[in-house]
Structures are given as structure tokens and as C-alpha cells.
Amino acid sequence: MADATTHFFPIFEPATRADPHPVYEQMRHHSPVVCLKGPVTDRPIWFFTDYEDVQWALKEPRFIKDARRNLPPELATRYQPASDGDAVFEAINYHLLNLDPPDHTRLRALVHKAFTPRTIADLQPRIHSIAQSLLDNMARRREGDLIDDFAYPLPITVIGEMLGIGTDNQAKFREWTRFLLINGTSQQAQLAVMEFVQFINELIDERQKHPTSDILSNLVHAEEAGDTLNRLELLSMVFLLLVAGHETTVNLIGNGTLALLQHPDQMETLRRDPSLIQTAVEEILRYNGPVETPTLRFASQDVAYKGHTMRAGDIILPSLLAANRDPKVFNNPNTFDITRDPNPHVAFGYGIHYCLGAPLARIEGSIAINALVQRFPDLRLSVPANELVWNDSMLLHGMNAMPAAWQRPA
């Protein structure tokens, strides 16, 4: 078995963020398991690009989420994000995406009831109403930013209402999310988390005194086999639900609309037959999904796989985008086909950390995209596609803005 030999592929370069697929193809042709050196750590980073290997890595129990609790200190401290060990950030980091069993199992059991198929189905009329209201506002103008005007406010309104948080805080939530996950300085991120924690603490106090029927109140009073959520777990869970509950769908709507605009034949096919929206959304998720890589995993021990040895403490990054273009699984993987079926993509992950909110994102994306293409048949970008600015996150794959134009309906 070979130890890590680091290679260079420009996957971390800002210019790659707009379209990382060609780089992932280069990596796959070199080797489906590639060891790189990252920009912020001296630990080897192992990328997985083949569908089979990505699924294996996502399910492998020796690849853990919580390095500080499950690795020896001398290994855990070799990867130190700026927020690691900071008590302020601890208040939002103790959530499902950063935990391993049994903690993960326990917390997922306490929150999954909020995302049952029945609960999500009951939300459909309200999602339709929100989408139509946003499109009515857009119809008063002839141009705007599809992210600001539509893709962002729809899911943040939905998850805000589910949590019992008013729409007047939407702008603040977006600022917090951007500073924490995408492009904030350390000072901006610290201030954002302090403001968020203060805001949610006040809401939790209110729900403890005066229970309601929203998710936040249900979490405050949740009980599963005599177990409840403590304050740290509540804060982290609300943070996760707010962020994951809107950012993924923002990118699903934005990336999906862009793919349709770049493939007008597919746009016209969907416009003529709206019943294709379900397979269209699945293809959008596969073709240019909203999440590039999942949150970090770490090798808890030396792991041998296909001629490579990942050492304890090494960083594991299975690429969801790369897996969804694996030609061994998807015929013509670089072709955007809204009738593709079957479509076993891994856009929402795989294994025990599979996205809890996937059903909600699918419903929101289906309603939003169908409503948009039906209302504005002449929708078009107002800048060349290669001038669109994408965020620099390796986690969230989406645009910062999407300038567009349309004709006002008669």
C-alpha cells in the first residue's frame, strides 16, 4: 500500500469555483482517489471522485466527523479551523453534520419528526403561495437578481415560518450565513455567530415559557425515550436547520435555472410538459448540485483502500459533484437531460448523514422552478454566463448573484 503522495489539481482555486467539473474529470483520469495538499492545513486531503468510492467513503465508519472528540489530541490539533475550540463557535457546531454515533443517532431521532413526508406534503400550498407572491413582485419589473428576488427569499421564508421566525429577519440571516460559511473575515464570522446565538437564545426562552406549534417549540420540548435537547444542542440544531434549510435550496433553484437557460431545448420541454418537473429536479441535482463536498470527515485510524493508505487524522473529501458525473454510472454524464431515468445521484449525500431536509428541498425546488419557467417564458441572463460570480466555498456550490431579465406579462 502506498503512503500519501500529494498531487496538484486546481480544485481550490477561485477560478475553479464556477465550474469544478473539468478538474474533477482530470482527477478521475489520474486516479479516482487523489491526495492533495489543502490551502489551510498541512494534513493530506483525500478526494474521492468515482461514484462507487464516494458512496464507500460516505458510509465508512472509520471516517469520522468529530475529530476533537474521537482522535488523539496530537492528531486532532493538526487540523485547526479558526473557530475550533472557540466557545462562541461551539454554540453552533454541535449539530448533526459534525457528530458521530451515538450522539448523531440520538439527535437525529429527536429532530426527524419535523421532516416527515406528511409534514412536508402539508407545506405545499404555502410554498406555492410564497412562490407566486415573489413572482408577482418580479412581474412589476423587467429585470433583477434571481437569487435575491426569488431563489433566496422562498426557502428562507419557508424554513423561517417552520421555525416560527418572522420574515423581517431574512436579510440578517443571509448576512450571518455568508459571513460564517462563505466569505466572511474571522471578525465578521465571530460577530455573526454572537448575534445569531443571542437571537436564538431569546427565541428559545420565549418558547420555553409559551409553547407554540412550530418546529422550534417542538425541539425545545422534544422528548424521545426520555431524552431531550440541552441548550447547546438546541442552538446548534436551529443553526443547522436555518442554514441547511435555505442555502441548499437557494443553490438548487439558482443552479437549476441556469442549467435550463443554458439548455433552451430542455427549458422548452419542461415548459410544454410541467409534469416533468420531478425528473427535471433530479437531473438538476445530478448535473450541477447545490453541495460540492460534504462537511469534513477524518480518518480515525490508518485505512487502506484501492492501493492507498489514509493515515489517522487525514482529511476525507468525497466529491458529490464528481460522483454525479461518473460515466460508469451515468450515460453521457455531461449531458443535461431532464427526462433522465433512473437517476441515482448522491447530491444529498449518502449513509447516516444523508440530508434530513432533502424532501423539503425537492418540493421547494419543484414548485419554484416550474412556477418561474411558466410565468416568464422569455427569461434570460442579463450578463454572459462566464461573468456570473460563484461563491468560493468548497461546501456550498452556488452563485452570489444571477442578473436576469424578462418581459412583464401582458
Average pLDDT over residues 92-102: 90
Q: Tell me if 129 sits within 8 A of 146, measured CB to CB.
A: no
Binning pLDDT at 50, 70 and 90, where does residue 180 land?
confident
Max intra-chain CA distance, the chain = 68
Provide the pLDDT for residue 2. 47
pLDDT digit string, tens, across residues 287-312? 999 999 999 999 999 999 999 999 99
Q: To the nearest whole number, what is the mean pLDDT of the chain?
A: 90
Report pLDDT for 25: 96
DSSP 303: E
User: Which 8-state DSSP code applies to residue 50?
Assistant: S
Q: What is the CATH number of domain 10-405?
A: 1.10.630.10
- With bands split at pLDDT 50, 70 and 90, how would you rate the model's confidence at 78? low
Q: Evaluate whether 76 touches 85 at the Cβ level (below 8 Å).
A: no
Residue 1: pLDDT over 70: no
Question: What percent of the chain stands above pLDDT 70?
Answer: 93
Q: DSSP letter at 307?
A: T
Cell of residue 309, nine digits: 493508505
With bands split at pLDDT 50, 70 and 90, how would you rate the model's confidence at 282? very high
8 Å CB contact between 25 and 41: no
CB burial of residue 255 (10 Å; 0-12, 13-18, 19+): buried
Helix (H, G, I), strand (E, B) or coil at 315: strand
**CA 20 from centroid of its chain's CA atoms:** 16
Percent of the chain past pLDDT 90, that is, above it, reads 62
pLDDT for the residue 83: 43
- For the segment 260-268, the average pLDDT, to the nearest whole number, is 98
Distance from C-alpha of 399 to C-alpha of 290, rounded to nearest angstrom: 10
Sole residue written with cell 436551529: 238
Instruction: With cut-offs at 50, 70 and 90, classify the pLDDT of residue 82.
Output: very low
**Cα distance between residue 372 and residue 150, in whole Å:** 9
Report yes or no: 295 and 349 within 8 Å, Cβ to Cβ.
no
pLDDT tens, position by position, 307-361: 999 999 999 999 999 999 999 999 999 999 999 999 999 999 999 999 989 999 9
Categorise residue 164: left if φ over 0, alpha if ψ from -120 to 50, beta otherwise.
left
Per-residue cell: 397: 456550490
**In which band, very low, low, confident or very high, does the pLDDT at 119 lie, cut at 50, 70 and 90?**
confident
Whether 33 shows a pLDDT value over 70: the answer reads yes
6 pLDDT more than 80 = no
